[in-house]
């Protein structure tokens, strides 16, 4: 589903955010990406979502070499990648329903379809009763769940989350993680960047560790000597 | 295919009214921007309509081209009458009107207001005048008409008792060239003000884009195409254009209605049956269409320039 081969990212000014990254994730796999802040977690996710492009090497997502996707085609690539952010990135002047509906509106779905899919998605994260609420009236955990509902509403094959539990207490964090586990179980590839070592060490998933822009440890590789 | 078209149209319709709703959230600033556009467009439109009205007036005058024959002062009334019978026989002449010296003096006293000053004069200084209405001005093109008229003037100049034969066309020609200058001035002014409208809309949309920067970033992150993001801004430009055009229309109509009373009084004093035309259907269509186009073009420029700069980081 995701394949990095010798991928590097150097920002203008000469800062190396990622160097020679190699790993592969199969469809339906769930993995954590960890490391200190500044180790390159966010940059790695940005390469997958084409917010940034690799300076060297290859990034292949869903069989497609991202270097070959032109600027105009980027939106269509992003529609297949659900993204979840630490700061939720919700629109505060629209209701929960409208926020979750946005990816579907962008894809040009009909009114009826949008209603059905948005409610299904909100139901999954347990927020069906809040569809008419504005995000500002929700708690941090609820806002994050709205963000998740929006990321999965058009059933992307790949889900990226950047510090999704960054601002949440352990209880809520576990709750959010269990939502991700559910998606993984139905075949969605999930990659979660997180520095919450305590939490992810308790979960039975692959852990990719970044250190100084390099992939220093991959639990899947160690498991098979 | 039909289904796809339907959703496409529906989506456009939604954004169309969504952008209107967004504007209506801050009616004051919306009105301010539209008023700026309206005033900028009202000026050239008003001038254009005044010019059009002037053309209809001068058109009336054109067909009323006359030749005035000023007779030598020594000419007696009987001699003048002989000349008139002679003139009436000419095919190029439609109508002849005789103004004797006494009549000329009376008319001059009445119209000029110099009556008392004229009393001081011992002798009547005014010559008798024969006003000749050429018949050729009814047919043929404008140029051949004026040639023929000039030929007639030459013939009449050669007649006995005629001191000066004067074609009352000179001032019409001058009026035409003045109107030509004004027309060009209006075109230049229209161009400049259209540019101003373009910049006003462009700047307003630029600010709107900056205000909604976060929203644009989010939409780009979840796969919104440039076209999707551009659409509401373009429709906002459309609405600005439409409202600006309507305000301009209102300003033009109300200003011209205010002006039409005095103008008609003025033209009546010239014994003209002129009634002022405020604005016709075509001009209305041009005004509204033009302002909508300017609104769209202005927002297009702003969107093209600024939307690319906003990318998720």
CB contact under 8 A, B218 and A89: yes
E strands present in B27-128: 67-71, 93-99
Last residue of a domain, one of B124, B146, B168: B168
Shortest CA gap A79–chain B (Å)? 5
Average pLDDT score over chain A: 89
Whether the Cβ atoms of residue A183 and residue A190 lie closer than 8 Å to each other = yes
Return all residues near A24 (Cβ < 8 A) that are at least 6 apart. Answer: A2, A3, A4
Residue B222: which region, alpha, beta or left (left: phi > 0; alpha: psi -120 to 50)? alpha
What is the per-residue pLDDT across A159-174, written as a single tens digit (0 to 9) for each?
Answer: 999 988 887 888 888 8
Instruction: Look at residue B246 and tell me if it is in a domain.
Output: yes
> Rounded distance, CA B166 to CA B132, Å?
10
Whether the Cβ atoms of residue B101 and residue B126 lie closer than 8 Å to each other = yes
> Rounded distance, CA B291 to CA B205, Å?
15
Q: Decide which of A36 and A191 is more confident.
A: A191
CB contact under 8 A, B218 and A79: no
> Rounded distance, CA B295 to CA B238, Å?
5
What is the per-residue pLDDT across A42-89, written as a single tens digit (0 to 9) for each?
Answer: 899 999 999 999 999 999 999 899 999 999 899 999 999 999 988 888
In total, chain A counts a number of residues equal to 225
B237: pLDDT confidence band, cut at 50, 70 and 90?
very high
% of chain B beyond a pLDDT of 90:
29
pLDDT at residue B61, as a whole number: 59
Shortest CA gap B303–chain A (Å)? 16
* Eight-class DSSP state of B222: T
CB contact under 8 A, A91 and B218: yes
Triad B186, B190, B195: Cα angle to 5°: 155
Contacts of B213 in chain A (CB under 8 A): none
Helix or strand holding residue A19 (H, E): strand A15-25
Whether residue B299 sits in one domain with residue B197: yes
Q: Is the pLDDT score of B182 beyond 80?
A: yes
Pairing of strands B67-71, A206-211: unpaired
SS3 of B53, please? helix
CB contact under 8 A, B223 and A150: no
CB contact under 8 A, A72 and B228: no
Contacts of A160 in chain B (CB under 8 A): none
Contacts of A105 in chain B (CB under 8 A): 11
Whether residue B145 sits in one domain with residue B92: yes
What is the per-residue pLDDT across B71-130, written as a single tens digit (0 to 9) for each?
Answer: 888 888 888 888 888 888 887 777 888 888 888 888 777 777 676 777 777 777 788 888
A15 bridge partner residues: A11
CB contact under 8 A, B223 and A75: yes
What residues 168-207 of chain A have any CB closer than 8 A to a CB of chain B? Answer: none
pLDDT at residue B143, as a whole number: 47
Instruction: Look at residue B241 and tell me if it is in a domain.
Output: yes
Domain hosting residue B260, numbered range: 15-61+173-306
Tell me the two tokens of residue A28.
């339906």
What residues 42-71 of chain A have any CB closer than 8 A to a CB of chain B? Answer: 49, 51
Whether residue B194 sits in one domain with residue B282: yes
Q: What are phi and psi of B277, to 5 degrees?
A: -100, 125
Shortest CA gap B274–chain A (Å)? 58
Instruction: Look at residue B10 and tell me if it is in a domain.
Output: no
Q: Is A147 on the interface with B (CB under 8 A)?
A: no
Q: Decide which of A221 and B197 is more confident.
A: B197
pLDDT at residue B63, as a whole number: 56
pLDDT at residue B217, as a whole number: 92
For each of the domains in chain A, give its residue range(s) and CATH number, in order of start. Answer: 2-223 (3.40.50.300)
| Domains identified in chain B, total number | 2
Whether residue B284 sits in one domain with residue B183: yes
Whether residue B275 sits in one domain with residue B144: no
Last residue of a domain, one of B143, B168, B193: B168
SS3 of B93, please? strand
Q: What is the CATH number of the domain that holds B143?
A: 3.30.70.3040
DSSP A68-114: G--GGGHHHHHTTEEEE-TT----TTS-HHHHHHHHHHHHT--HHHH
CB contact under 8 A, A79 and B221: no
With 0-12 / 13-18 / 19 or more C-beta atoms within 10 angstroms meaning exposed / middle / buried, residue B158 is: exposed
CB contact under 8 A, B223 and A79: yes
């Amino acid at each position: 589903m995701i394949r990095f081969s010798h991928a590097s990212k150097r920002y203008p000014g000469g800062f190396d955010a990622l160097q020679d990254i190699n790993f592969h994730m199969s469809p339906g796999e769930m993995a954590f990406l960890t490391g200190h802040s500044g180790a390159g977690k966010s940059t790695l996710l940005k390469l997958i979502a084409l917010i940034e492009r690799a300076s060297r090497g290859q990034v292949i997502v869903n069989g497609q070499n991202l270097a070959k996707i032109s600027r105009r085609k980027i939106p269509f690539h992003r529609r297949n990648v659900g993204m979840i952010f630490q700061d939720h990135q919700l629109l505060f002047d629209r209701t929960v329903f409208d926020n979750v509906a946005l990816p579907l509106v962008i894809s040009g779905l009909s009114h009826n379809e949008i209603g059905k899919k948005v409610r299904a998605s909100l139901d999954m994260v347990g927020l069906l009763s809040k569809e008419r609420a504005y995000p500002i009236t929700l708690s941090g955990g609820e806002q994050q769940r709205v963000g998740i509902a929006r990321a999965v509403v058009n059933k992307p094959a790949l889900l990226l989350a950047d510090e999704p539990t960054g601002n949440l207490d352990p209880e809520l964090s576990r709750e959010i993680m269990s939502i991700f586990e559910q998606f993984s179980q139905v075949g969605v590839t999930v990659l979660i960047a997180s520095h919450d070592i305590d939490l992810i060490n308790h979960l039975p998933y692959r852990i990719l560790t970044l250190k100084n822009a390099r992939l220093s440890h991959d639990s899947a590789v160690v498991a098979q000597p | 295919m039909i289904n796809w078209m339907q959703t496409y149209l529906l989506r456009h319709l939604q954004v169309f009214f969504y952008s209107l709703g967004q504007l209506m959230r801050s009616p004051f600033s919306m009105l301010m921007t539209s008023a700026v556009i309206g005033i900028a467009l009202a000026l050239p439109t008003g001038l254009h309509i005044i010019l059009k009205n002037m053309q209809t007036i001068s058109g009336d005058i054109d067909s009323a081209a006359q030749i005035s024959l000023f007779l030598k002062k020594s000419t007696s009334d009987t001699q003048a009458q002989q000349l008139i019978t002679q003139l009436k026989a000419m095919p190029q002449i439609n109508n002849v009107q005789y103004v004797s010296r006494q009549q000329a003096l009376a008319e001059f006293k009445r119209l000029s207001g110099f009556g008392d000053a004229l009393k001081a004069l011992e002798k009547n200084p005014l010559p008798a005048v024969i006003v000749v209405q050429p018949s050729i001005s009814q047919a043929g093109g404008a140029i051949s008409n004026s040639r023929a008229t000039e030929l007639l003037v030459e013939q009449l100049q050669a007649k006995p008792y005629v001191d000066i034969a004067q074609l009352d066309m000179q001032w019409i020609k001058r009026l035409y060239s003045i109107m030509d200058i004004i027309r060009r001035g209006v075109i230049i002014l229209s161009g400049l003000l259209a540019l101003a409208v373009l910049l006003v809309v462009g700047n307003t949309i630029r600010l709107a884009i900056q205000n909604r920067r976060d929203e644009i970033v989010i939409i780009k992150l979840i796969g919104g195409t440039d076209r999707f993001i551009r659409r509401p801004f373009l429709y906002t430009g459309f609405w600005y254009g439409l409202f600006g055009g309507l305000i301009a229309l209102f300003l033009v109509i109300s200003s011209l209605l205010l002006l039409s009373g005095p103008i008609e009084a003025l033209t009546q004093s010239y014994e003209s049956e002129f009634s002022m035309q405020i604005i016709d259907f075509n001009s209305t269509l041009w005004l509204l269409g033009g302002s909508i186009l300017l609104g769209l073009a202005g927002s297009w420029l702003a969107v093209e320039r600024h939307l690319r700069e906003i990318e998720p980081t």
